[in-house]
Chain A
Amino acid sequence: MKSLTNILLVAPILLPFLSAIIMLSAWKKIKFQRVMNLFASGVAVMASLAIMQKVRADGILVLHVGGWQAPFGISIVIDLLSAIMVVITAVIAFVTAIYSIHTIDPEREAFGFYPLLQFLLMGINGAFITGDLFNLYVWFEVMLISSFVLIALGGRKDQLEGAIKYVTLNLLASAIFLAAAGIIYGLAGTLNMADLARKLPLLNNDTMLNLVSVMFLISFGIKSALFPFFFWLPASYHTPPAAVSAIFAGLLTKVGVYALIRVFTLIFTHDVNFTHTVLLVLAGLTMLSGVLGAATQMDFRRILSFHIISQIGYMIMGLALNSPLALAGGIFYIMHHVIVKTNLFFVSGMVNKFEGSYRLKSLGGVFKASPVLSLLFFIPAMSLAGIPPLSGFWAKFTVAKAGFDLEQYFIVGVSLLVGALTLYSMTKIWNEVFWKDKPDSIQNNNTKESWSSVKLYLPLAILSLITIIIGFNAEPFLNLAINAAHQLLNPQEYIKIVLGS
């Protein structure tokens, strides 16, 4: 029984790892890879739900890899936040697997698209469940290299340009992370996060801790596309195929956000006045800067990309406010955002598939051509804009309420204003792509039958349905987020379970 649980705990890493290896060994068999990818993703959903079930029943789960007790080996630790992230990742991977089958070109499929996707998932999941700071760095590397190849795969000029910016800035983040990890090891003599949480306060060296926390903040800030570190995101997300940018949009930045939440609730809580104030300021600037960036864009995916940034701001605002409800709001925001954002990128890819463009100026008339696709855009778009009772409203509401509770009126005001501008951006897409008639000068090169192809809409429909369910039945999700926040803000339990008493 115990070993079965252990396998379940590493399943988020092991499943994609094994499936990627199997797919690599069947390099030429594309059809097999598609099915394998779908199958592995489906199993991952079930495994992640089983993990969630177990964490909710038994509390934080720990596995000491290789049997070396913490802090000597590497520990896998899954608390509610980790479980939430793993479930979301699995869901997104699953719908992306379906979506890829119909949208990824055969050339990319032939060059290892599916194994790369699974490697990416391995890295993402690894980051979510590890309890070791250096191990986190390793998973970041796995994520970075596989995402880099996925962005560059195809070798088009704009892809490569985006990929270079992506990889350079992320390598900078890695370098800072590595330096910071080294410094923190030098300070505390350990890399186990629970052990760090226990030992760092004993140092009584706030200056040193503040310096290191700044480094982590910048490193993870780059990963999560905070202001002023977000440049790689709008530079690269609009170049790869829609399936790739969709999964990136959903998951990659959230790994950074997760890491920020983890270290700034578990490890760096020594001087909240400094660290969380910096976070709050950056959160506000991130929201504003992202939404303003979106307002200027006239490309479907670029608008969406800038909105990722703006909404990272909301999540970090939840973290920075540092109250249970605020943090819960931030976590709820992640759940909502991942689902909605992936869906919107899916829609953009769908429109591109039929109309051959992402540019608002050359698009139009989609509402007439496909009311179903229009609905599947309208739901996540309104959710993103925070229109009740969709998921985005509760996310926005919870963060705003928490902010008001703490009398942080200014940042809440900013967040609401940003909401108005988000609505503006979403209606801009709606106006230009869906409502406006197709410009006469643009040749219509789509085939009639494609619009009504139901199987193409399936992943979009699944995600839209989830958005609606979260919106109309917010209680269980919110409750989960609140419990996760309580766990994070009371790290003693985490420390005790990892290190034993």
Chain B
Amino acid sequence: MLIAIFSAFVVAVFVQPLFKFSKKRAGAILSLLPLMLFLYFAYNTSAVLSGQLQFETYEWIPSLGIHIAFVMDGIGLLFSLIITGIGTVIFLYAGSYMQDYKYMNRFYIYIIIFMASMLGVVLSDNFLVLFVFWELTSISSYLLIGFNHHKEESRYSALQALLITGTGGLALLAGLILLSIASGTFSVSELLASGIDLSDSELYVPIVILIFLGAFTKSAQFPFHFWLPNAMTAPTPVSAYLHSATMVKAGIFLLARFNPVLGGTELWQDTLLIVGTVTMVIGGALSIKQSDLKKLLAYTTVSVLGTLTMLIGIGTELAIKAFTIYLIAHALYKATLFLVSGTIDHETGTRNVDKLSGLRTFMPITAITAILASLSKMGIIPLVGFVGKETVYASILELSDFGTIIIFLAILANAFIVVVTLLVGFKPFLGKFKDLQRKIHEAPFAMWAGPLILAVLGLLFGLIPQYIFASLIDQTALSIISKTIALKVKLWHGFNTIFFLSVLTVAMGILLFYFRIKIFSILISIKFVPYFKPSFWYDYILKGVMTTARAQTLLLQNGYLRYYIIFILLTFLTLSGYVLFVHESFDTISLDLHITFYEIALSILIIVAVGITIHSKSRLTAVTAIGIVGFSIGIVFIIYGAPDLALTQFAIEILTVILFVLVIYKLPRYLRFSSLSGRIRDLIIASAVGVTMFFVVLLITSAEMSSELKQFFADVSMPDGKGRNIVNVILVDFRAFDTMGELVVLAIAALGVYALLKLKLGNGK
């Protein structure tokens, strides 16, 4: 399986040279890739369906307990066959459909990466590896939705899809990490084998909610459904492949994958039931106001995804059976209808359903394909869609509590789907031809062959469901609810309630179709208050985040150096103030300081000088006053017996003052920018910092200090350092490394002064 997935990534590398070789044939050649993969999975079918699951494990990141582990079980195989089977059709179709696109090669790179990642999702046994592939599908989806990136709309939709699935992805990641903490493993099969009951864990609720968020965003469940219709800005093969047949089902797949581990609780089953049902109805209801072929189809996809979620929520044997059949049926007819709509768009130049009619004479094969798929979608006997819908109804009817309400909603949703199908599958082909001012003809072979095969398969699967589905359902059920089910699959169950409901659905649908304009205008007049639209909330939240971001950035990064310094000092005051505050007693501070007269005098001198510096209106006075501060500190050094330090200090002070005086006439006039209140604020902050530092120093000087260094330096200076002046020996021997560094600093400073004076690049440059 690793080789299968990896081979696809390798092929992606060779797309570019292939297109150099022949753009015309590249699509057909590349469609061999999914075909080969399909054959590989088909070859494994009999083994898996007889219960021999296939495992592969490779070591990857043992430090984190992550292994690349794959398993091919019923549901994995089912999805793999859909991904590669539909993939073959799509790859072939796109080879012709995308000929006019300049960057067709990029399209194939993205879609191959997508396919490989999607296979990774459905085959991974390690759920962190699953997540890796999951994110890759989001990214490739982003690149494909934004494929026509010169259009603003495409970029908007791509970003929206990425943000919603990406944020959901992060929730999923959190959920998966928690799951691994609660269970001690990243492996689904180990989780199953260990048989631990996670519902007892206190992490169970967050795990479930986070995984739901991941699955619901990906699979466009209400209220996250709106990105999917917007994603229709992608080229049609993408919509057919990612946004109906495969990627959007990844969320559903995830729910199915974790169902045996996390399912069975009220939280799990009821949430899925409710969210699924709501999505099913909303998707259907929103669909009929569309006029774009692809958007019409997109909303029915939402509805179907809701139905699939609902079925997992029901979770009975019958529901799993319905899940399997419905999944396959939908993949077959929806991909077909998308491709048909792409063909119509390609040949007529429009996807507006109001403009299209009577195309059957020009495009007979496409018309037959469309009608076959439509019949399946509407659930007409003997197509596979009929079998699917019947089983769905049957499993809803089994529900004891809300069965009647949900069956009513399901019929309503399906009636909406019938309306859409009539619009997409029948209307463009039937009736009188409307002139579109261009020559219309049948699509090329590559574009009709694939969809036709899918449509015919829909018929075939409907006619002989027992041969197709029986063991597949068995194994899928084993994956989803951990047991095999011995349910027979039949096309015809006789004239029973369910058949009556099916007829009712179609009848309602046809009725709705004829009154759709009226219903539509009623719906409009109710005025869907925008607050109920989740897409409104998406924009609102995004805007809110931006507003907050702007406010906080203006506050913090305001461009004024003085505020930056204030922020830093206030943080210092807060933190050190807290430390001093929680410190119970200050007994350790000894106030027995032996303050001498000189010290008091010097202190007063320093304070006065500082006051003059701050207050003076002339630079010269300020500099002189600063000099006084420096000299006073030098005298303090003398008092404490460090004459060499004092000498250095004096030298620096003299030099500074002289340098200042030298440049002072070159400086612009001295101006005062700060307001009085600002100065008072600064005074308070500065004094507070000063007082705090005073306390800190008082605290240390009170503590006994014993340093073996002093003694060592005193002992060793002369014999080993060959110097009488300890400070000198420290500077040039014990800590010569520091001195070297400081010398470098001086050298760089000199270099910098030179460069700054000499090099002035133009301001425009």
Contacts and interface: CB of A to CB of B under 8 A. Distances in A.
Interface in A57-75: 65-66, 68, 71-74
B546 A296 contact: yes
Interface string A22-43: 0010000000000000000000
Contacts of B132: 388-389, 393
B583 A152 contact: no
B346 interface: no
Given A295-B545, A423-B162, A478-B63, A404 B177 contact: yes
24 contacts: A65-B737, A111-B758, A116-B751, A123-B744, A138-B742, A149-B752, A155-B761, A183-B700, A186-B701, A186-B703, A187-B703, A189-B710, A203-B703, A217-B575, A229-B567, A278-B575, A293-B553, A296-B550, A398-B64, A401-B64, A417-B170, A427-B163, A435-B146, A474-B61
Contacts of B738: 74, 134-135, 138
A234 interface: yes
A146 B748 CA distance: 6
Contact of A116 (B171, B579, B748): B748
B360 interface: no
B174 A296 contact: no
Interface string A327-352: 00000000000000000000000000
Interface string B699-719: 111010111111011001000
A157 interface: yes
A387 B557 contact: no
A228 B575 contact: no
A176 B572 contact: yes
A183 to B, nearest CB: 6
A412 interface: yes
A205 interface: yes
Given A138-B741, A431-B159, A397 B173 contact: yes
B572 A228 contact: no
Interface in B669-728: 693, 696-697, 699-701, 703, 705-710, 712-713, 716
Interface string A210-251: 110011011000100000110110110000000000000000
A367 interface: yes
Interface stretch (A77-85, A164-172, A447-455): A164-172
A164 B565 CA distance: 13
Report whether over half of chain A's contact residues are helix, strand or loop; otherwise say mixed. Answer: helix
B557 A235 contact: yes
B580 A152 contact: no
A24 B752 CA distance: 13
Given A218-B568, A475-B63, A208 B699 contact: yes
Nearest to A222: B568
A46 B567 CA distance: 43
Given A152-B756, A189-B710, A231 B567 contact: yes
B519 interface: no
A146 to B, nearest CB: 5
A106 B751 CA distance: 17
B749 interface: yes
Interface in B501-538: none
A185 B735 CA distance: 15
A100 interface: no
A267 interface: no
Interface of A: 17, 24, 65-66, 68, 71-74, 105, 107-108, 110-112, 115-116, 119, 122-123, 126, 134-135, 138-139, 141-142, 145-146, 148-149, 152-157, 164-165, 168-169, 172, 176, 179, 183, 185-190, 203, 205, 207-208, 210-211, 214-215, 217-218, 222, 228-229, 231-232, 234-235, 274, 278, 289, 292-293, 295-296, 367, 371, 382, 387-389, 393-394, 397-398, 400-401, 404-405, 409, 412-413, 416-417, 419-421, 423-424, 427, 431, 435-437, 474-475, 478-479, 482
Counting from the closest, the 9 A-B pairs by CB-CB distance are: A189-B707, A149-B752, A138-B741, A435-B149, A292-B549, A231-B564, A388-B132, A111-B755, A207-B583
Nearest to B692: A211
Given A108-B759, A186-B705, A207-B699, A289 B552 contact: yes
A367 B565 contact: no
Contacts, number: 273
Nearest to A185: B707
Contacts of A135: 735, 737-738, 741
B408 interface: no
Contact of B177 (A142, A189, A400, A475): A400
B564 A232 contact: yes
Contacts of A401: 64, 177, 180-181
Nearest to A212: B696
Nearest to A159: B761
Output the residue of B132, B693, B755, B756 with the most chain A CB within 10 A.
Answer: B755
B736 interface: yes
A66 B561 contact: no
Contact of B759 (A111, A116, A122, A157): A111
A388 B131 contact: yes
Contact of B744 (A17, A134, A153, A289): A17
Contacts of B749: 145, 149
A208 B589 CA distance: 11
B760 interface: yes
B155 interface: yes
A187 to B, nearest CB: 6
B564 A165 contact: yes
Contacts of B707: 185, 188-190
Contact of B139 (A72, A119, A387, A421): A387
A388 B146 contact: no
Contacts of A154: 759-761
B616 interface: no
Contacts of B565: 168-169, 172
A228 B177 contact: no
B167 interface: yes
A420 B166 contact: yes
B64 A189 contact: no
Nearest to A150: B752
B194 interface: no
A149 B751 contact: yes
A425 to B, nearest CB: 10
Contacts of B706: 189
A119 B750 CA distance: 13
B568 A229 contact: yes
Contact of A145 (B63, B142, B548, B752): B752
Given A141-B745, A154-B759, A401-B64, 6 more contacts: A149-B752, A215-B572, A278-B575, A367-B149, A400-B174, A475-B61
A148 B752 contact: yes
Contact of A74 (B557, B737, B765): B737
A214 B575 contact: yes
Given A72-B712, A148-B752, A176-B572, A437 B549 contact: no
A183 B155 contact: no
A420 B541 CA distance: 13
Contacts of B747: 119
Given A119-B744, A149-B751, A289-B552, A404 B181 contact: yes
B668 interface: no
Contacts of B135: 387-388, 393
B761 A156 contact: yes
A142 B744 contact: yes
A423 B163 contact: yes
A402 B742 CA distance: 41
B618 interface: no
Nearest to B764: A156
B136 A388 contact: yes
Nearest to B713: A72
A218 B571 contact: yes
B150 interface: yes
B62 interface: yes
Given A293-B552, A295-B549, A387-B135, A208 B759 contact: no
Contacts of B588: 205
B571 A437 contact: no
